[in-house]
Structure 1
Amino acid sequence: MRTVLSGIAALLGGVLLFLTANGLLSTLLAVRLSLDGLAPAATGLVLAAYYVGFFLGALRAQRVLRDVGHIRAFTAFAAAMTAATLLHALIPSAWAWALLRLIAGFAMAALFLITESWLNERADTENRGTVLSLYMVTAQLGLGGGQLLLGAASPMEDTLFQIVAVLFALALIPVALTRSMAPTPPPETHVPLRRLYAISPIGMVGAATAGVVQASFFAMGPVHATGIGLPSGQVGLYMATVVLGGVLLQWPLGALSDRIGREGVYAGTVAALASVCVGMVFAPEWGLSAVAGGALAFGGLLFMLYPLAVAQANDWATAHERVGVAGGLLIAYGVGAVAGPMLAGLAIELLGPGGLFLFCAAALVLLLFFTFAQLTRRPQLPAALQTPFAPVMRTSTAMVELDPRIDDPPAASSD
């Protein structure tokens, strides 16, 4: 463990810094737009621009890496994030912010790709699981820690933008000073969506729905929290509680899905999450403890949607298809993530703050019906033939190479 950690400590330090900055910035912008009185539907459009940029970056950033190399690309994109952050304070216009969110999404996709390529280059078949675990823990600490910084200053002032800019600038240092050779960019590979659907309809639709629900919450969750009367400091705690829930439940539910069958656990997770969403509509009437408890349960189930969809798709893919399947699932997730905040913003505008969770519940119920319909056409794969569960992030194609299941022999085939 010590040898593995010493080889990637600098990279993980950079990850911690830029994810802390990005987590704080995302929540700050949602709260600021809400307090400025921008309509929720318009807020959803502005914040959805980040996911458009991220989707484009996931598809195109590899070309930049090939042209200029990893170190120069990381420096350029981290600098772009620093400048974009400060420009939010200098140009207080919602539509200018939409353009800045588009740029930020592209830059963050590139930063993920660079970092995960480097981590993959440091990993081998013996320690890949350890590297993945360390990376996941670091990413979740950064995402959750960024939320807690929201209470450090008023969101109506520029101080928090300055803190974010400093964190992005500091993230440059570990990578800029590294002595290691830059890795080769991962191949741009994914199976066509039609083939992906043939391999795993549940996995593909599940990944897209995960994009809808997760992006809706992380874009519009602070708007919901502000709408139910939480002050900015408590909005940060509310968002951090959701992240904490994701940390607590990933491994228990993943292990359960390995033992009793993937589709059953998946359907149960979707149903439970839809129920929690309905409960979150009424939680503000029951008090702050109900909101906190609901946020913890919501996060625990929310962060399982994408990993379980990936695991289900891997169960039915052949060994040579799994890298391409993972790339296709990232595209499906990205499409859902672009649509989610826009639709969620419209739901809040029409139905009030609870509209966010009503929208998420509706999307999950549709996914649940789809899952049951598919199970009547193709029986559940026996647990003994499943690939092992592994928690994965939906960030870049390089993340696929860190997945310890990729080199495993096929569990089943759809042919």
Structure 2
Amino acid sequence: MIQWQQQSGDRLAQDRVLRWNLAGWILFGLLPPAVAVLDASPARRFWLLGLLALIALCHTVVLTRPDNPLLRPRTYLGVLVLVLGATAYLLDGGAAFYVVSLPHFWLFARAPRDAITLSGAAAALTVFGGTLGQGWSPQFLTGNVVFTMVAYIAGVGLGLWVHRFVGQSNERQEQLTAELTVTQKELAQAYQRQGAAEERERLAREIHDTLAQGFASIVVLAEAARAASATDPVRCAEQLTSIEQTARENLAEARVLVGSAPESGVAVGSLASTLRRTLDRFVQDTGLTVTAELPDVDLDQRTRVALLRCTQESLANVRKHSGASTVGVVLTELVGGVELEITDDGCGFVVEESHGFGLDGMSRRLAELDGELAVTSSLGDGTRVLASLPTHSQD
């Protein structure tokens, strides 16, 4: 793509140079001889106008059909050499026409050697043609010959300098293009690595918030069921039922993660009812006291899932670490946002010393939705988790 753009830009620049050169060549090269020969004899006028028309036609063909097998650029330059010599003979000197035509040798020649050779041949024929027409005289020597030779030498020097400058510019452009190509490849690889890392992080967060929490619950319930199997069969049966339900929920979450089921977790408009079911399960499994204020709030799917995951993670932390007896959950609808507050009366912890994946995962999940997570706790004073999210349009 970059190489194509570079070639396209080079063609446009070359076309602009050729157009400007054509305009100058017509105005200062073709028109003056055509006007000068109007007062000449009919035969001379016929031949000169014919030569000018011929070279103009050849030039047009080369510009419009550069791949024409009958008239290639090198052939055109050969015709131009002959026309310059003949024009010099018919006009008794053609130094001015030669000077205006000099750029053609550098624009259409394949290599500097060809340009030098052909422009030198044109200079020699211009001098020779003018000599035949006007004769050898001091006036002619100081005018047509000197002017033509000076123009040739200056044209060679300027042409070589421009060729070298353009070559260096092309080399630099190719180098920059190569560097840009390498940079783009490295940037694409970096984006790919970043995307893979972000996807791994997302999957790790989803697994932690769903499957890992479910397996942890199954382990706790299985230990409780085993302990109650001999002394409290009813309680043991309840624990086994909870294990079965948790396993089924984990299976459903696993299908969502691998893409074999549509992402759900929360039905549309049912965050409050889903949280109530989650809290009922929590009370059933742990026996803790839970107070809840859960008004029906219509939220978009991503916001509902984020608040559910925050609730599940907070309850899992209460179960594993807090030693609490009471948990409070409050869902509040604000102007342009929503807050979910989860508190417990457990042992608390030092927030600054916490480096768990759960709190970090909750914070990242909320940040993706322009939300915030605030955790307040201290040893012996329980814990308060506050999740704040702006409201979004419904899915």
Higher relative contact order (CA 8 A, sep 6+): 1
Larger Rg: 2
Q: TM-score, normalised by structure 1?
A: 0.23
Higher helix share: 1
> 1 or 2, which has the higher strand percentage?
2
